Amino acid sequence: TNMCFASQKFLMESSLEFSSSLGSASSLLSRHRTFKVLMIGDSGVGKTCLTHRLCAGQFPCRAEATIGVDFRERTVEIDGEKIKLQLWDTAGQERFRKSMVQHYYRNVHAVLFIYDVTCPAPSTDSWWQPGQYNLYFSFLLRFLVGNKSDLRVPTRADHQVNQQTAISFAKSHGMMFFETSAKIPPNRLSKASQRAGQTPIQLHQIEDIVLTVAGKLKRHKSVNYSSVCNGSFKVTSKKIAEKESWSCC
């Protein structure tokens, strides 16, 4: 993880930008919306690696503890519209989380709560603290992502987070659920768990996660044109409470 105290000048508002001159047909074709997505989770769960994988398609050869906040971007096209995801990789270590990360909660559109499937917490509620985060995030799109599925060992189920428990937890907190591996592209269903005669583990491809998050964001937001600056439209997002009931994919 690079040490990077991201500058406030970077797109703190959701924006609909027209990269070429206003009013021309080509500007309409090249428009895109930018959405800020926070990656949150305990230290070592793989936020940085997942951010790299989601944005660059690669697992980083070296990952160090994040200090402060770093971000990476990925643009995808959904139904003819370019959606830019700006993934903000926050520090998992408590000392950084408390002091700095909250500064970056502003103008967030979605949150990915990451946990390590090989590290069961004493209770599901301690993966993240709804009480603490609800204040900021209750109106946002929220996703629960189990990472490091490649490290699951069927014979050691008691040392891993039960997927059904995680799915129930996600549903009860209005989150969409994914389980994946930033390191090794997972098969959709864990063959190991099938062999062991257990409930098959559902696994999600990184690309599916990117497209689902972008698609949900595209449908979740409505925009208000608020100002025009520097030859580009600046559009402020109007946040709408999500009515849709989530289901696991």
Ligand X SMILES: Nc1nc2c(ncn2[C@@H]2O[C@H](COP(=O)(O)OP(=O)(O)OP(=O)(O)O)[C@@H](O)[C@H]2O)c(=O)[nH]1
For ligand X, which residue of 20, 27, 43, 205 counts as binding (CB under 6 A)?
A: 43
For ligand X, which residue of 83, 161, 182, 206 counts as binding (CB under 6 A)?
A: 182
For position 93 contacting ligand X by CB under 6 A, the verdict is: yes
For position 66 contacting ligand X by CB under 6 A, the verdict is: yes
For position 63 contacting ligand X by CB under 6 A, the verdict is: yes
For ligand X, which residue of 14, 15, 86, 147 counts as binding (CB under 6 A)?
A: 147
Per-residue burial over 55-86, b if 16 or more Cβ lie within 10 Å, else e, is beeebeeebeebbbbbbbebebeeeeebbbbb
Size of the site for ligand X (CB under 6 A): 22
- Backbone phi, then psi, for 212, in 5-degree steps? -65, -45
Q: Which stretch binds ligand X (CB under 6 A): 45-53, 71-79, 156-164, 216-224?
A: 45-53
Q: Which stretch binds ligand X (CB under 6 A): 18-26, 60-68, 99-107, 190-198?
A: 60-68
For position 160 contacting ligand X by CB under 6 A, the verdict is: no
For ligand X, which residue of 15, 124, 163, 181 counts as binding (CB under 6 A)?
A: 181
For position 108 contacting ligand X by CB under 6 A, the verdict is: no
Spell out, one character per residue from 190 to 229, where the chain touches ligand X: x when CB under 6 A holds, - when not.
----------------------------------------
CA angle 237, 145, 40 (to 5 degrees): 60
Q: Measured between alpha carbons, how far is 66 from 45 in angstroms, rounded to an integer?
A: 12
Rounded to a whole number of angstroms, the minimum distance from the CB of residue 92 to ligand X is: 3
Residue nearest to ligand X (CB): 92
Rounded to a whole number of angstroms, the minimum distance from the CB of residue 193 to ligand X is: 17
For ligand X, which residue of 6, 151, 192, 211 counts as binding (CB under 6 A)?
A: 151
Q: Are 232 and 160 in contact (CB under 8 A)?
A: no
Q: Which amino acid is at 66?
A: T
Q: Are 177 and 144 in contact (CB under 8 A)?
A: yes
Rounded to a whole number of angstroms, the minimum distance from the CB of residue 33 to ligand X is: 26
Q: Which residues bind ligand X (CB under 6 A)?
A: 1, 41, 43-49, 63, 65-66, 91-93, 147-148, 150-151, 181-183
